[in-house]
Amino acid sequence: MTLTGTENREYVLRVARERDIRYVRIWFVDVLGLLKSVAIPASELERVLEQGLGIDGSSLEGSARLAERDVIAHPDPATFQILPWRPAGGVARMFCNVAYPDESPFPGDSRHALRRVLARAAELGFTFLVGCEVEFFVFAQPQDDGPPRPLDRGAYLDQTTLDVGSDFAGGRSTTWSRWGSRSRAPTTRTVPPSTRSTSSTWTRSRWPMR
């Protein structure tokens, strides 16, 4: 079942009350792909869902801060998710659509830019499934002031032993699933000098971006 915008807002407010959410991080991404964040207390959540949150638009223009301009960040309630890495809980996040005060789209909004590209592709008969591939390095605990040490010597697609690396991989997938994302094909890769790198391709979010 697809929830309407109003139903999504009511769902967010209900879950925030039931799960004792204290703060909600309002997330948006600038034109350079850098994540920006503003935290609001739960007491402001209903107002921000209805009216949006005023921010400085130049913060979305990367290093090209040519002029200060007021824009409104409108949280997308379909992206509401409790952050699973906070042990005590109480913190959630939502991504935003950014617009001018007259509700026209702000050109520096990366979500709007993606929608424009997808619409153009659709006119040409193409359909894109947009996701991300997360790659990172995993190192062992440091010893004194020595250089970083690889967690293990596993090679690409190796069946590794049941060590701390395997435990980490299992915990990673469990955490992502709690966040509503599925890892399609987690793999282990190597780069010189045999440093372990773990990656995963996510499927699309369960909520489509509108």
Question: 197 falls in which pLDDT band (50, 70, 90)?
Answer: very low
Please give the sequence-ordered ranges of beta strands (E in DSSP) within 3-162, or none if there are none: 23-29, 35-41, 53-56, 70-75, 81-82, 91-99, 133-137
Question: What's the pLDDT score for residue 72?
Answer: 92
Question: What's the pLDDT score for residue 190?
Answer: 58
158 vs 208: which has the higher pLDDT: 158
Extract the tokens encoding 163: 């060590």
Please, what is the average pLDDT of the chain? 76
* pLDDT above 70 as % of the chain: 65
194 vs 166: which has the higher pLDDT: 166
pLDDT of 20 > 80? The answer is yes
Nearest to 61 by CA among 37, 38, 39, 33: 33
Nearest to 99 by CA among 82, 81, 111: 111
45-72 tens-digit pLDDT? 999 999 999 987 766 665 445 555 688 9
Range in 5-19, 24-38, 46-60, 187-201 with the lowest mean pLDDT: 187-201
Question: What's the pLDDT score for residue 185?
Answer: 64
117-155 tens-digit pLDDT? 889 999 999 987 767 777 777 777 777 777 877 776 666
Q: List beta partners, residue 80.
A: none
For CATH 3.10.20.70, list the domain ranges present in the chain: 5-108
The CATH homologous superfamily for domain 5-108 is Glutamine synthetase, N-terminal domain (3.10.20.70)
Using CA atoms, how far residue 163 sits from 44, 136, 154, in Å, is: 45, 18, 11
